[in-house]
Amino acid sequence: MSATQTPSAPPAPSPALSPGEFRARVERLLTDILGLMGYPARLEFQDASDGSLAVALHFEAGMPSGVETGRRSQVVDSLQFLLNKMLHRPGVERRWVLLGAGVLPEPRNRKEAPAPAPAPVPVASAPPTPRPPPPARAAVAPPAPVAAPARPAKAAPAAPAAPAPAKRAMEADERTVEVAEDAALALAARQLAEKASSLGRFYALAAMKMEDRARVLKAVQGVPGVGVSGEGEGRCRRVVFTPDKPAPLPKRFLLPDDEDDFED
């Protein structure tokens, strides 16, 4: 007979981190992520009233594209989602981290359940008063028959309605938009296009107005080794830089899979 194998015991949960250790871990993760993004920032911490940790990001080299002070953006929301995913692992006490651009974010508003409506109070109703019988009516002679009016001629069928005009496209082509040139934006767009071509990297500029996307597309015309186009619809529309010869991302630029890698 073969020896029976005893099932292994589940791993013990990790001990809860102290507030100082939790802040140090958040600061380490945010510093590494913002460094890889190319937007280093000074971090300001404050304990929120709902138990979460509020962090203000004071960018040292200017705000990223689409980020404004004191307002929510896709960049900050994505960074907050990624950070909480890395912090909330099995066996670790959960504590949410809220991020704000330039200012401390407000704590989450928890909606309270509405109070139940009071039950209706039964009201005793008075007994119905008996109605008197209706008076007798005198007999009325039936009306004389009336000749039916002549039927009018059948109207001709209406002409079919003209077809509705074609629905406008959700997004106009930015290359056809006439805008004034922005020298600073044009220089930054050309530098990003040359970087995508030389390194073989994919880049995208999101949360931009249609006029700014048009300025970027016109500024990068003629840059060799990279294709630039507008993709998406509505708020998700962005300018994408696609290199002609993509290159794999070096391992040292990838985010670590285990928190122990941050200790090195």
When pLDDT is cut at 50, 70 and 90, the band that residue 136 belongs to is: low
CATH number for the domain spanning 213: value is 3.30.1370.50
Six-digit token pair at 203? Answer: 């880049």
The pLDDT of residue 3 is 53
Whether 113 has a pLDDT exceeding 50, the answer reads no
Residue 72, domain member (yes or no): yes
Q: Which residue has the higher pLDDT, 113 or 158?
A: 158
Domain interval for residue 245: 174-249
Which of 248, 239, 256, 251 lies closest to 201 in space, CA to CA? 248
User: Could you say which of 101, 118, 147 is where a domain stops?
Assistant: 101
Q: Which residue has the higher pLDDT, 154 or 114?
A: 154
Distance of alpha carbon 61 from alpha carbon 34, whole angstroms:
11
Residue 204, domain member (yes or no): yes
User: Could you say which of 85, 101, 117 is where a domain stops?
Assistant: 101
User: Could you say which of 73, 101, 129 is where a domain stops?
Assistant: 101
Residue 83, domain member (yes or no): yes
The pLDDT of residue 106 is 82
Q: Kindly state the percentage of the chain with pLDDT values over 90.
A: 16
What is the DSSP code (8-state) at residue 235? G
The three-class DSSP label of residue 54 is: strand
Total count of domains within the chain? 2
- Specify which of 26-35, 85-94, 105-114, 155-164 reaches the highest per-range mean pLDDT: 26-35
Burial of residue 247, with CB atoms counted within 10 A of its CB: 0-12 exposed, 13-18 middle, 19 or more buried: exposed
